[in-house]
Structure 1
Amino acid sequence: MSEKDPSFRVALVAGGCAGTSVDVALFPIDTLKTRMQSPQGFYKAGGFKGVYNGMFAAAAGSAPGAALFFSTYETVKVPDSIQNESCYMASSSCGEVAACWIRVPTENVKQKMQAGMYPSTRIAIKGIFEQRGYRGFYVGYFACVLREIPFSFIQFPVYETLKKRWSEWQGRDVTPIQSALCGSIGGGFSAATTTPFDVVKTRLMLGRDREGTQYNGMLNAIFRIYAEGGVKKFFTGIVPRTVWIGLGGCVFFGSYESVKELLLDMM
């Protein structure tokens, strides 16, 4: 990997390519996870049928969301000489807050389609707008941010530290494949530990419990999820989420580093 710091434009393009690669390649696993977490249960939410429902919405938001994340991350991150875990945590947190402005609206559309609430992207967008206006697309924003910040606090220090240690051990920069493996380890571990936040976010975006009663904010959702099955309920979907993000981390960081290296060599 080149020693040059990626410019804003390089991070923008590389991040966009990486995000799209993950969302398209691993979308069915994400669908299974969402259906497991839905209040009506896996099979009533669609089971193994239509696992690509909502993929267009995900693909539409993945490139700009990932691009905004990485461009913010690389911009906020301090020079190599003073980088540490706190730097990675702060930089990735800023990136996640920025990316959620794009990610949350597409997540709302995508997850409602994954759970069988709408048959198409156009109808989903129309339905969400008719029910709650533009605010409807940002339902679950703070829950999403609260999921992404601890996720990044774990993932990026692990990712960057593993890359640094691996580089020191072999006496040269890590390759894109090695970087991808570091991202996979960091992503899988982070996914497992932040699953409770993901369950709350999913419930808020789907809007209602199995009886059709609307959730009234995060605290209300947390108490009601706990009432359904205790602490165990907050870890619903942990296996597909861990597999999805573990594999996704490999694809994501591998794509990001490969495209970034290619673009830097062309500059």
Structure 2
Amino acid sequence: MEKRQFTASLLAGGCAGMCVDLTLFPLDTIKTRLQSQQGFYKAGGFRGIYAGVPSAALGSFPNAAAFFVTYETVKSLLGSSVSPYMAPVTHMVAASLGEIVACLIRVPTEVIKQRTQACPSSNTYRILLGTLREEGFRGLYRGYNSTVLREIPFSLVQFPLWEYLKSLWSWKQGHVLYPWQSAVCGAFAGGFAALVTTPMDVAKTRIMLAKAGTSTASGNIPHVLCEVWKAKGFSGLFAGSLPRMASISIGGFIFLGAYEKFRRTILSNNWITS
């Protein structure tokens, strides 16, 4: 990947990430509280829906930037060596590796953010200090495996579908899509991916919010899903699916649309040299 493309992916990804995370934060808070073990109202209900926003604001730029730099780099490396028919596989591999790298940044911010969302009487700083005091640095990465196992299936669905919808629409109209059209494709792809991966999101939320030392906190995903199934059945596995779909559909529109717009704008400027 050329320096110009690397810089464009870095800046566009980071800006797009901040746009979507801060815009849709209230929906994310509602989803977290719906999935928490203590229940929606005990976790705060509709009170303090911006609890945990400092953590999201701090992590959104580097998280999204890391994803898109990895995604575009891998796509560039593999794109020249495979046939067009293997394009979906290229997008799947690129997205999966992008998620693994991004989760190194995303998980600590997600842990602090979700614990603050589920305990609005506290604040981000106190939750961070409490986590470090009780669990050490490793506590910030509780739920890393479950987050990766949620994000990879999500990306395996979202990004190949997004790229396919873009190429289909572009082929039908005979020219490259406008950023708003890429955003529409992103909304459809994100909403569908959000629905099918909700059970993994429920498991991830339960693991991150669980009290240290409990069986749930150990991060055994099948065990957590079985507990949810026994306690609440099918509806429990898909708790928060509607706000999650709404958030990610709107988020996909903003995130992928903004990414395309920012990236094209940055690449068209002469101050980025190759």
Instruction: Identify whether the pair has TM-score above 0.5, normalized to the shorter chain.
Output: yes
Give 5+ residue unaligned stretches, structure 1.
Answer: none
Query: Which amino acid is the alignment partner of residue 106 of structure 1?
Result: T
Q: Match for residue 176 of structure 2?
A: 173
Q: Match for residue 57 of structure 2?
A: 59
* Residues 68-217 of structure 1: pairs in structure 2 closer than 5 A: 68-77=66-75, 78-79=78-79, 82-83=83-84, 84-116=87-119, 119-208=122-211, 213=214, 215=216, 216-217=218-219
* Residues 4-83 of structure 1: pairs in structure 2 closer than 5 A: 7-77=5-75, 78-79=78-79, 82-83=83-84
1:227 aligns with 2:230: yes
For residues 6 and 245 of structure 1, do their structure 2 counterparts lie closer, same or farther at Cα, with a shift above 3 Å needed?
farther
CA contact (8 A) 1:118 1:124 kept: no
Query: How big is the shift at 1:224?
Result: 1.8
Query: Which amino acid is the alignment partner of residue 13 of structure 1?
Result: L
Give 5+ residue unaligned stretches, structure 2.
Answer: none
Q: Percent identity?
A: 48
Name the TM-score, length of structure 1 as normaliser.
0.94
* Residues 252-263 of structure 1: pairs in structure 2 closer than 5 A: 252-263=255-266
Separation in 1, partners of 2:79, 2:91: 11
Count of aligned residue pairs for this structure pair? 262
Q: Secondary structure at the match of 2:100?
A: helix
Query: How big is the shift at 1:8?
Result: 1.3
Query: How big is the shift at 1:7?
Result: 1.4
Q: Match for residue 244 of structure 1?
A: 247
Separation in 1, partners of 2:4, 2:50: 34
Separation in 1, partners of 2:5, 2:154: 25
Separation in 1, partners of 2:60, 2:83: 31
Q: Secondary structure at the match of 2:43?
A: coil
- Please provide the CA RMSD for this pair: 1.8
Name the TM-score, length of structure 2 as normaliser.
0.91
Query: How big is the shift at 1:226?
Result: 2.0
Q: Secondary structure at the match of 2:151?
A: helix
Query: How big is the shift at 1:248?
Result: 0.2
